Amino acid sequence: MNAPNDAQFLTQLYIDGRWVDGALGRTVAVTNPATGAHLADVAAGTAHDVELAVAGAARAFRAWRQTTGAERARYLRAIVAEVEARRERLAMLQSLNNGKPQEEAQTDVDDVIGTFRYYAQLAERLDDMTDEDVSIPSTEYRARICREPCGVAALIVPWNFPMVTTAWKLAPALAAGCTVVLKPSEITPLPELELASAIASVGLPAGVFNAVTGTGADVGAPLVAHSGVRKVSFTGSTGVGQTVMKTAADTLKGVSLELGGKSSIMVFDDADVDLALALIEAGGFFNSGQMCSATSRVLVARKLAPTLLARLVERAERIVVGDPFAPGVQMGPLVNRAQFERVRGHIEQGIADGARLLTGGGRPADAPEQGFFIAPTIFADVPPTSALWRDEIFGPVLCVRVFDTEQEAVDVANDSEYGLVATVVTADEARGERVARALEAGVVWVNTPQLIYPQTSWGGYKRSSVGRELGPFGLAAFQEIKQVLTLRQPISQSI
């Protein structure tokens, strides 16, 4: 499949109901990670555009906050229909700009649809929950808890799951009655702008939804600092998340942060080895390992280690790496040169630190020359103090260590500054439950793939998150709570 030409991409900002060029006319170049080729020049917003977008969102908030949940649900369902109609194009842009194989890109579109559908339901339920009577020890007064939208929300998202990370914020924010300014990653604006166009086409009032592409420094930072923004929902690296939280402190706005991870998959000696291998492979190499939820630490019971490792290496070497549009390709490139160099640096440092490279480590022999491809890579005997073991690599790199006892496995998994997810593979149900409860992680999968249902929750412990997304928690992140206490009798009678 050939890349569409520049004219077929959306490249403008969407502010206050209109597609516009950035106020200063700047652009940012977007590349195809599978070929290194230039794809488009996309408008790069600045503080001027942020100002216009926040002003539009603040104006729109006055009326939008008065709409009923049922009205907002109708818009969310219209977005579902529009995304469904554009499914192929959204998946194509995702593969082109991010490098995900087509099948993975389709999964992301399904996730967007599922998320908007779920929050449409929740928006409808809000109409019953908005004024909730609370039982108090008084017959004289009536106490109510009201849930209200918190105001203009800034949604700042990364490049590794464009559209999905957007949907996880946007759907609950709109459902709650907030107006929003979305800031997609400057690396993957093409699918995000197509999604923005799908949203723009459903007739939301001007200013309810705004999308300002551009860099973190020029768009993200002024958005976070803006006094008109009442909530920042950020997904990205832990370092930038810390900066966001510090900046938000100046105006004391609410923040939700979804950050990095360094997660473990633990394979106990009673595990179904075929299942374990499938889960290790998916947890390490899906999206070329560019996942906050990558289970890049593989902890294996000593008894299973020799067989499991040999079979894991065999499987990794069979993974088809290449052009994301080619049939049968299972793993695409890393997202850009900077990411490619970063992961290569981690691999070289790992070797220098004494980790044993079992397979991979460089470009796959038959991958396209100019693309940013790295072969599935597996290390054993990784020193627990090394960066390879402790830092988020964000590439197709697995680090294996053996363990002798359940407690040792739990301790090693918990010995991390992060605490996003974990996977446990065991035939013993009681152990699965025990280990799941002992892990310092926000999501634990026991004998299951990394399935994420919008009805549940997303987020982690420690330096992985502040707050939670998805489920009712994701909606609550965009709400204020108001208590209203009233006299039950007319005032004249009670005095």
Where do contacts with ligand NAD occur on this chain (CB under 6 A)? 156-161, 165, 183, 185-186, 215-216, 220-221, 224, 235-237, 240, 243-244, 258-261, 292, 392, 394, 420, 464-465
Nearer to ligand NAD, 143 or 466 (CB): 466
Check 150, 178, 186, 292 and give the catalytic one.
292
Q: Smallest distance, Å, CB 482 to ligand NAD?
A: 29
User: How far is residue 142's CA from residue 147's CA, in Å, rounded to a whole number?
Assistant: 16
Nearer to ligand NAD, 67 or 465 (CB): 465
Q: Smallest distance, Å, CB 224 to ligand NAD?
A: 5
Q: Smallest distance, Å, CB 458 to ligand NAD?
A: 6
Return the residue matching tokens 């555009």.
49
> Is 417 annotated in the active site?
no
> Is 150 annotated in the active site?
no
User: How far is residue 147's CA from residue 162's CA, in Å, rounded to a whole number?
Assistant: 29
Q: Smallest distance, Å, CB 56 to ligand NAD?
A: 20
Nearer to ligand NAD, 221 or 304 (CB): 221
Q: Smallest distance, Å, CB 339 to ligand NAD?
A: 8
Task: Estimate to the nearest angstrom the gap between the alpha carbon of 468 and the chain centroid.
Answer: 12
**Closest by CA position to 210, among listed 343, 370, 346, 19:** 19
Residues 449 and 239: beta-carbon distance below 8 Å: no
Q: Smallest distance, Å, CB 8 to ligand NAD?
A: 24
Query: Which residues make Cβ contacts (< 8 Å) with residue 458, sequence separation at least 6?
Result: 168, 258, 442, 443, 452, 468, 469, 470, 471, 474
Ranges of H-type helices in 331-380: 337-352
Q: Smallest distance, Å, CB 227 to ligand NAD?
A: 16
Query: Which residues make Cβ contacts (< 8 Å) with residue 420, sequence separation at least 6?
Result: 260, 261, 263, 292, 293, 441, 442, 443, 459, 460, 461, 464, 465
Nearer to ligand NAD, 160 or 295 (CB): 160
Check 104, 192, 194, 258 and give the catalytic one.
258
Outline where DSSP puts E strands in 302-420: 356-359, 377-380, 397-403, 418-419
Nearer to ligand NAD, 75 or 394 (CB): 394
Return the H-helix or E-strand segment holding 235: strand 231-235
Residues 64 and 203: beta-carbon distance below 8 Å: no
DSSP state of 440: -
Supply the angle between the helices 164-176 and 189-200 in degrees, to the nearest 10.
Answer: 30
Q: Smallest distance, Å, CB 141 to ligand NAD?
A: 42
**Closest by CA position to 216, among listed 42, 44, 442, 455:** 44
DSSP state of 469: B
User: How far is residue 338's CA from residue 250's CA, in Å, rounded to a whole number?
Assistant: 32
Strand partners, 421: 443
Tell me the CB-side half-sphere exposure of residue 74, using CA atoms within 13 A: 6
Q: Known catalytic residues?
A: 258, 292
